[in-house]
Amino acid sequence: MTPAQHELIRHSWYRAAPVREQIIRDFYGHLFEQAPALRDLFPADLGRQKRKLLITLNIAVSRLSRLEQIRPSLRELGRRHRDYGARTEYYPVVCEALLWSLATHMGSDFDRATEFAWREALSTITTEMLAGAREIPEQTD
């Protein structure tokens, strides 16, 4: 990712502050419409999950230009998602649902360049999470 893409993501996320909760809410709604089988991977009450996703996105957006700082956390997140039952083929569906929700709520702020930057960011995040998911858990004796 380029510095200009990092800035597009930061700027768009900053401008989306008033609608971030709606972005997250509609992300889950759209995700479950597109992939109903994924609903079983989540708790019935999504309140805590929504807050966790919002915090994770805030951290990722603020530190994406310093990937080395967040790489261990992203890989740990991938390991946890593996343990929750997330599979590799779910990641593109999740990314598309998030992109849909961002576009829906950001309107004209989500232009082609911004969408491309978000796609690049989500690709980077997914790559790191999948690397973590592939790691073999340490055996304890």
Which of 3.20.20.20, 1.10.510.10, 1.10.490.10, 3.40.1010.10 would CATH assign to domain 3-133? 1.10.490.10
What pLDDT was estimated at residue 78?
93
For 102-124, how does the pLDDT look when each residue is reduced to its tens digit (9 = 90+)? 999 999 999 999 999 999 999 99
Give buried/exposed letters for 55-73 (b at 16+ CB in 10 A, else e). eebeebbeebeeeeebeeb
Residues of the chain under the 70 pLDDT cut: 138-141
